[in-house]
Amino acid sequence: MSERARFVVVANRLPVDRVVADDGTVDWRTSPGGLVTALEPVMRRMGGAWVGWHGAPDETVAPFQHDGYSIVPVPLSAEEYEEYYEGFSNATLWPLFHDTVAFPEFHREWWDAYLTVNRRFAVATAEAAGDGATVWVQDYQLLLVPQMLRELRPDLKIGFFLHIPFPPIELFQQLPWRGQIIEGLLGADLVGFQVPGGAQNFLRLVRTRTRHRVERDGVRIAGSHTCVARAYPISIDSQGFADLAETPEVIAESEALLEELGHPKTIFLGVDRLDYTKGLRQRIRAMGELFEEGKLDPADTVFLQVATPSRERVEEYKKLRDDIDLLVGRINSHVGGVGRPAISYLHAGFPRTTMAAMYRIANVMVVTPLRDGMNLVAKEYVACHPSTNGALVLSEFAGAAKELKQAYIVNPYDLNGMKDVLMQAATDAPRNRQRRMRALKKQVFGHTIEQWADNFLGDLEGR
Ligand code: GDG
């Protein structure tokens, strides 16, 4: 690259997907997902470079410009994709960091690939970053990059943000490579977590398993730097979402959707990546029982569930997909009239406008993860729903529950408790619902993605 960047974001995936038209022309389109939704606006504002994989294995793509910043693609072989991404990242770290809600697998060859790929990312970043640049490394796929990068480029300011939970020490200790991972993260000047509990888990781990001195939220690395660990709860472009939901296209789409659903009195909505951490099995069972017991009437109530395809080649995800298909099919064959199922289940991705249209018409938004770093869907609903009459049902195990305290809070493992709260959310006196929603809107509009980035980067600059 001719000009080196003063600000660099490093993430497993680039924020763009390649689309090849019928005539063979190549274009790049912004890709979906929590991390991209959060960071894309930051990048458009700051400029600089984004280092990440471009999504096609065994292919090298040259750097290019997109939306005012540089895209620096890092290549991965098909085997690395399997071992570093599907394997170590998503079948070892992801379940382990989400309280082992699925069983984490430990394989030495996956770890070797993780090391190799983290090193490649560190080298690519070292080449893209200008003198004294600020680098912001993202998420669990790149836990080793801060230390590797510091070794290559001690002049850089290095920040790291973990989008998923940081587990309690008792679980983290299972990792055969725990020592290397702790040291990898400690290479950063600032490590950000979604909630204070994550930072506390990390600091407790450092105190217990390393010889570094810990003072309050700082870890002193002798002869080098101090790594600070703090919580920076992530958010969304709240006003951007609210404005989107008020556009004529979205309003028209929401009306068409209502028509398609037969103008039900009550719409429950779930929107998730199809992931076992999101509590879909529990949620669908709870909703199914409410229909079966006659507490909800399929003649005037619909449960609309969007499950965006995700990590489809990983075994646990295939199993989840089959389980959910079966569960939804079984419930729909018991309840509901001719022509309209009680559960309208869509295993597909949708444009952002369609998501906003769904948020607009949902009376009860159901967000019930078994464990979630934050959960942006909960915040997007609060921003997009046009009235204060909507209700948010939220799992106490989502990071978002620490902020959205006025939601209807549930424990997704407690099916009866969850059913009661789902009913309460749907039938509560408007006065109560409105009071809660007003408080939620105040929170979401008062804590935006811009503030999140400014807080993190401001603290990083001050280090
Ligand atoms: C990770 C952490 C943390 C989903 N389906 C479609 C679509 N989406 C968008 C949503 C939302 C995002 O993807 C999902 O974000 P979440 O936060 O709910 O969940 P994860 O993907 O697991 O994200 C999470 C997040 O990172 C940020 O730090 O909150 O805890 O797990 O923005 O709207 N967007 C479009 N079509 C879809 O079909 N356009």
Q: Token pair 């680039």 is at which residue? A: 14
Which atom of ligand 1 is closest in space to residue 367's alpha carbon?
A: 18
* pLDDT for res 451: 92
What is the token pair recorded at 36?
Answer: 């991209």
Q: Is 447 helix (H, G, I), strand (E, B) or coil?
A: coil
CA distance 40 to 374: 17
Residue 449 CA, ligand 1 centroid: distance in Å: 14
Q: Which residues contact 286 (CB under 8 A, 6 or more apart)?
A: 415, 418, 419, 422
CA distance 209 to 408: 39
In short, whether 34's Cβ falls inside 6 Å of ligand 1 is yes
Q: Where in 301-413 does DSSP place strands (E)?
A: 301-308, 343-346, 364-367, 391-395, 408-410
* pLDDT for res 339: 72
* pLDDT for res 2: 52
User: Residue 436 belongs to what H/E stretch?
Assistant: helix 430-446
Nearest to 122, CA basis, from 146, 140, 93, 143: 146
Residue 16 CA, ligand 1 centroid: distance in Å: 15
pLDDT tens per residue across span 293-336: 999 999 999 999 999 999 998 889 999 999 999 999 999 998 97
Nearest to 408, CA basis, from 426, 423, 390, 421: 421
Which atom of ligand 1 is closest in space to residue 352's alpha carbon?
A: 39
Q: Which residues contact 429 (CB under 8 A, 6 or more apart)?
A: none
* pLDDT for res 24: 87
Residue type, 300: D
163 a catalytic residue: yes
In short, whether 165's Cβ falls inside 6 Å of ligand 1 is no
Q: Token pair 């400690």 is at which residue? A: 186
* pLDDT for res 32: 66
Backbone angles phi and psi of 401, in degrees to 5: -65, -20
CA distance 2 to 431: 60
- Which of 40, 89, 139, 273 to mutate to test ligand 1, by most ligand atoms within 8 A of the CB atom? 273
Q: Is 443 helix (H, G, I), strand (E, B) or coil?
A: helix
Low-confidence ranges of the chain (pLDDT < 50): 1
Rounded to two decimals, the pTM is: 0.96
pLDDT tens per residue across span 390-403: 999 999 999 999 99
Q: Please give the distance of CA 124 from its chain centroid, rounded to a whole number.
A: 25
* pLDDT for res 1: 47
372 a catalytic residue: yes
* pLDDT for res 38: 74
Angle at CA 456, nearest 5°, toward 381 and 221? 135
Alpha helices for 212-294 (secondary structure H)? 238-245, 248-261, 280-292
CA distance 111 to 211: 24
Q: Which residues contact 225 (CB under 8 A, 6 or more apart)?
A: 150, 189
Q: From the candidates 54, 98, 139, 163, which is the catalytic residue? A: 163
CA distance 338 to 19: 39
Q: Is 370 helix (H, G, I), strand (E, B) or coil?
A: coil
- Residue 78: how many other CB atoms lie within 10 Å: 11
**Protein residue closest via CA to atom 6 of ligand 1:** 349
Check residue 132 and give left, alpha or beta (phi > 0: left; psi -120 to 50: alpha).
left
Q: Please give the distance of CA 347 from its chain centroid, rounded to a whole number.
A: 18
Contact indicator for 56, 69 with CB cutoff of 8 Å: no
* pLDDT for res 33: 64
pLDDT tens per residue across span 11-66: 999 999 888 888 988 888 887 666 787 788 788 888 899 999 999 999 999 999 98
The answer to whether the Cα torsion of 245, 250, 251, 253 is positive or negative is: negative
Residue 69 CA, ligand 1 centroid: distance in Å: 23
